[in-house]
């Protein structure tokens, strides 16, 4: 498989990280956002990041020049027809995503691979926004934040995705230093599903708001289990609202399966605005 | 003053060799048949709550010693409530990749029991991490068993291969081990025993066991 040119739609944290990772593979990247000024700002951040890597001796000056010249900020209407791969990394709103995929289909040639970085919507449902001929080249590519550092890419095949395409993309990512894992189109895919009870069971072990108990469980999971962060400090970092939203999404998608049931403490924290580090109060309190 | 301590452990205990280097060790049947008197008994058996209750009751009677017992698979609060001779609890049955193991003491001012446990853990090259107010179970075995159980549910639903799931958890969320690797190291039978205990005590369906996990764990 040859990938020479890609487009990333959505210049937020994930889109920016994905775009930078592809640039570091010396692949041409078109960065697109509905807010053009925002995509310019995002491109500037990428350039700064690349220069920082150069200062640290991780990239050469000539490589950085090549990467910077390979990045173009464009409007959606100007996307290159011959782009090999488009990755959508916009807001988690199904209708907005589906509208985008329909638009992309009308703008691109019939060989371009169309991928979504969704963490919550079934790939098969998103593929329904495309014509039946295009669904075989649609799949999920779920990157992890920060995309430049986290090696995992979940390669998700929908019901109509060409399995050979998924396999070749997996091989391609692995050849570029990522760890690509193929999975089927089930709620939460691999990580967001299997990791649910790192949080859910810890919340049940705690039961009620008890900062000492949060600390105890965090210490146990780090010092006994070898996890880098405990469940409560990690929820505070991710955002308790974000974590609850993922839990609810998986719980609903599995038709209220008890294993994924959210805990009332999560709901209570979100309802009272204690969302974690971003609000200075979560399971722990943070200095302002 | 050095204490006369008996450790009850079977040869399949994960720390068996280390324990035998430092302590007098007997299996369950051997310990039951003995009438020797000790200062402390450390019970590392894999029995679940009710069987454990009868075993340690007998053990305390014959040895005349306070008991520290492994409650990795048991309802800790119930044992504490019903077994006055149990002074502390340890959790050594589940393979742990890091430096510490959890322990609990019934009376937080019981410094002698605490010292016996910390010395025991030191002999296993582990640090002792205090678990205050033991309720349903120790934290680590419970949380890791649920993660591993979910990985097996994912496998039985053909979400991905074992290799892919292990790789994804290690590279996506920096787990020290993939859930299948972890399950192999702990022993799937122990995970099943704990999940059964949690389901029986709580009555909650969230602890139901993956068919695939049972399939792979139950060996004739």
> What is the three-state SS of A20-89?
HHHHHCCCEEEEECCCHHHHHHHHHHHHHHHHHHHHCCCCCHHHHHHHHHCEEEECHHHCCCCCCEEEEC
pLDDT at A1: 85
> B167 at the A interface (CB within 8 A)?
yes
Residue A146: asked if its preceding bond is cis (omega within 30°), the reply is yes
| Cβ-defined contact of B153 to A144 (cutoff 8 Å) | no
pLDDT at B178: 98
- Which one from A30, A142, A157, A263 is the annotated catalytic residue? A142
Q: Averaged over B55-83, what is the pLDDT?
A: 93
A→B interface, C-beta within 8 Å: 144, 150-152, 154, 179, 181-184, 186, 189-191, 193-198, 200-202, 205, 212-213, 216-217, 219-228, 231, 258-259, 261
> B195 at the A interface (CB within 8 A)?
no
pLDDT band at B122 (very low <50, low <70, confident <90, very high): very high
| Cβ-defined contact of B98 to A225 (cutoff 8 Å) | yes
pLDDT of B139 above 90: yes
* Domain assignments of chain A as residue spans, ordered by start: 5-183, 191-279
In this structure, the answer to whether residues B165 and B113 fall within a common structural domain is: no
In this structure, the answer to whether residues B42 and B101 fall within a common structural domain is: yes
- What are the DSSP E strand ranges found in chain B? 5-8, 24-26, 40-43, 67-70, 86-90, 100-105, 127-130
Q: Would residue B148 count as lying in a domain?
A: yes
Q: Give the model confidence (pLDDT) of A93-114 as tens digits.
A: 999 999 999 999 999 999 999 9
pLDDT of B220 above 80: no
pLDDT at A288: 65
Q: Give the model confidence (pLDDT) of B155-167 as tens digits.
A: 999 999 999 999 9
pLDDT at B52: 94
- Could you confirm whether A119 is annotated as catalytic? yes
In this structure, the answer to whether residues B119 and B29 fall within a common structural domain is: yes
In this structure, the answer to whether residues B82 and B106 fall within a common structural domain is: yes
Q: Would residue B87 count as lying in a domain?
A: yes
For A201, nearest residue in chain B (alpha carbons):
B143
pLDDT band at A130 (very low <50, low <70, confident <90, very high): very high
CATH class assigned to A191-279: mainly alpha
The CATH number given to whatever domain includes residue B82 is: 3.40.50.720
pLDDT at B171: 95
In this structure, the answer to whether residues B118 and B195 fall within a common structural domain is: no
In this structure, the answer to whether residues B119 and B17 fall within a common structural domain is: yes
Q: Name residues whose C-beta falls within 8 Å of residue A114's C-beta, 6 or more positions apart in sequence.
A: A85, A86, A88, A101, A104, A105, A108, A130, A134, A137, A138, A139
In this structure, the answer to whether residues B50 and B15 fall within a common structural domain is: yes
Q: Give the model confidence (pLDDT) of B75-89 as tens digits.
A: 999 999 999 999 999
In this structure, the answer to whether residues B102 and B166 fall within a common structural domain is: no
| Cβ-defined contact of A258 to B175 (cutoff 8 Å) | no
pLDDT at B34: 80
Residues of B in Cβ contact (< 8 Å) with A200: 146, 206
Q: What share of chain B is helix, strand, coil (3-state, %, to 5)?
A: 50, 15, 35
- Which residue range forms the structural domain that includes residue B156? 141-214
Distance CA A163, CA A28 (A): 26
Q: Give the model confidence (pLDDT) of A221-238 as tens digits.
A: 999 999 999 999 999 999
Contact present, A32 and A8 (Cβ < 8 Å) = yes
Q: Would residue B136 count as lying in a domain?
A: no
pLDDT at B1: 64
| Cβ-defined contact of A150 to B179 (cutoff 8 Å) | no
Give the number of domains in chain B: 2
In this structure, the answer to whether residues B200 and B146 fall within a common structural domain is: yes
> B108 at the A interface (CB within 8 A)?
no
In this structure, the answer to whether residues B183 and B79 fall within a common structural domain is: no
Last residue within a domain, chosen from B98, B130, B162: B130
> B216 at the A interface (CB within 8 A)?
no
- Which one from A120, A162, A184, A192 is the annotated catalytic residue? A192
In 3D, which of A99, A113, A98 has the Cα closest to residue A6? A113
DSSP character at residue A187: T
Q: Give the model confidence (pLDDT) of B199-214 as tens digits.
A: 999 999 999 999 999 9
Which pTM does this prediction carry?
0.93
pLDDT at B163: 98
The H or E element containing residue A200 is: helix A196-206
Which CATH number describes the domain made up of A5-183?
Answer: 3.40.50.720
ipTM of the complex: 0.95
Last residue within a domain, chosen from B106, B130, B154: B130
In this structure, the answer to whether residues B12 and B106 fall within a common structural domain is: yes
pLDDT band at A142 (very low <50, low <70, confident <90, very high): very high
pLDDT at B214: 96
For chain A, percent of residues with pLDDT exceeding 90: 97
Q: Would residue B51 count as lying in a domain?
A: yes
Q: Give the model confidence (pLDDT) of A257-268 as tens digits.
A: 999 999 999 999
Residues of B in Cβ contact (< 8 Å) with A181: 160, 164-165, 167-168
Last residue within a domain, chosen from B68, B99, B130: B130
- Could you confirm whether A175 is annotated as catalytic? no
pLDDT of A287 above 90: no
Q: Which residues 28-57 of B are in CB contact (within 8 Å) with A?
A: none
Q: Averaged over B19-44, what is the pLDDT?
A: 92
Burial string for A197-226 (b: 16+ CB within 10 Å, else e) reads bbbbbbbbbbeeeeeebbebbbbbbbbbbb
| Cβ-defined contact of B179 to A195 (cutoff 8 Å) | no
CA distance A203 to chain B (A): 10
pLDDT of A13 above 90: yes
Contacts A–B by Cβ distance under 8 A: 143
For B160, nearest residue in chain A (alpha carbons):
A183
Q: Indicate the residue of B147, B153, B159 with minimum beta-carbon distance to A184.
A: B159
- Which one from A116, A154, A166, A243 is the annotated catalytic residue? A154
- Could you confirm whether A154 is annotated as catalytic? yes
pLDDT of B10 above 90: yes
For chain A, percent of residues with pLDDT exceeding 70: 100
Q: Indicate the residue of A198, A201, A216 with minimum beta-carbon distance to B132.
A: A216
- CA distances (Å), B78 to each of A127, B81, B82, in order? 53, 5, 6
The CATH number given to whatever domain includes residue B203 is: 1.10.1040.50
CA distance A68 to chain B (A): 28
CA distance B195 to chain A (A): 12
| Cβ-defined contact of B96 to A181 (cutoff 8 Å) | no
pLDDT at A36: 97
In this structure, the answer to whether residues B37 and B108 fall within a common structural domain is: yes
pLDDT at A76: 97
What is the residue-wise DSSP string for A110-150?
A: TT-EEEE--SSS-HHHHHTTS-TTTGGGEEEEEE-SSTTT-
pLDDT of A152 above 80: yes
Q: Averaged over B163-184, what is the pLDDT?
A: 97
| Cβ-defined contact of B100 to A223 (cutoff 8 Å) | yes
């Amino acid at each position: 498989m040859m990938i020479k040119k890609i487009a990333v739609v959505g210049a937020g944290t994930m889109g920016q990280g994905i775009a930078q990772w592809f640039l570091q593979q010396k692949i041409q990247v078109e960065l697109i956002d509905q807010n053009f000024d925002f995509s310019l700002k995002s491109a500037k951040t990428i350039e700064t990041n690349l220069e920082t890597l150069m200062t640290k001796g991780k990239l050469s000056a000539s490589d950085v020049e090549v990467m910077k010249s390979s990045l173009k900020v464009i409007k959606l209407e100007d996307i290159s027809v011959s782009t090999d791969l488009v990755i959508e990394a916009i807001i988690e709103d199904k209708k907005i995503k589906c509208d985008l995929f329909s638009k992309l289909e009308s703008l691109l040639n019939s060989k371009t691979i169309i991928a979504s970085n969704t963490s919550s919507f079934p790939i098969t449902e998103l593929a329904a926004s495309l014509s039946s001929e295009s669904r075989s080249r649609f799949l999920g590519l779920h990157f992890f934040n920060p995309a430049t550092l986290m090696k995992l890419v979940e390669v998700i095949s929908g019901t109509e995705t060409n399995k050979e395409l998924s396999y070749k993309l997996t091989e391609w990512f692995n050849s570029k230093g990522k760890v690509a894992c193929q999975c089927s189109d089930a709620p939460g895919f691999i990580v967001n599903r299997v990791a649910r009870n790192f949080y859910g069971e810890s919340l049940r072990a705690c039961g009620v708001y008890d900062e000492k108990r949060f600390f105890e469980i965090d210490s146990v999971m780090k010092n006994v289990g070898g996890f880098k962060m405990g469940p409560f400090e990690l929820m505070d970092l991710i955002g308790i609202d974000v974590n609850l939203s993922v839990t609810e999404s998986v719980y609903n998608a599995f038709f209220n399966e008890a294993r994924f049931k959210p805990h009332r403490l999560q709901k209570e924290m979100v309802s009272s605005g204690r969302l974690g580090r971003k609000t200075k109060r979560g399971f722990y309190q943070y200095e302002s | 003053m050095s204490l006369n301590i008996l450790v009850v452990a079977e040869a399949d205990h994960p720390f068996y060799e280390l324990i035998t280097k430092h302590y007098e060790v007997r299996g369950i049947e051997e310990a039951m048949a003995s009438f020797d008197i000790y200062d402390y008994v450390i019970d590392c058996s894999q029995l679940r709550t009710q069987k454990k209750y009868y075993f340690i009751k007998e053990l305390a009677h014959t040895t005349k010693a306070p008991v520290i017992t492994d409650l990795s698979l048991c309802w800790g609060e119930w044992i504490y409530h019903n077994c006055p001779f149990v002074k502390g609890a340890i959790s050594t049955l589940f393979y742990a990749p890091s430096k510490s193991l959890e322990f609990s003491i019934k009376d937080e001012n019981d410094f002698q029991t605490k010292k016996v446990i910390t010395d025991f853990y030191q002999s296993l090259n582990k640090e002792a991490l205090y678990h205050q107010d033991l309720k349903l179970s120790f934290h680590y075995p419970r949380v890791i068993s649920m993660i591993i159980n979910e990985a097996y549910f994912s496998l039985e639903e053909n979400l991905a291969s074992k290799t892919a799931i292990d790789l994804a958890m290690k590279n996506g969320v920096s787990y020290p081990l993939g859930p299948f690797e972890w399950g192999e190291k702990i022993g799937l039978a122990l995970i099943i025993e704990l999940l059964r205990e949690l389901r029986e005590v709580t009555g909650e369906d969230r602890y139901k066991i993956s068919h695939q996990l049972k399939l792979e764990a139950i060996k004739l």
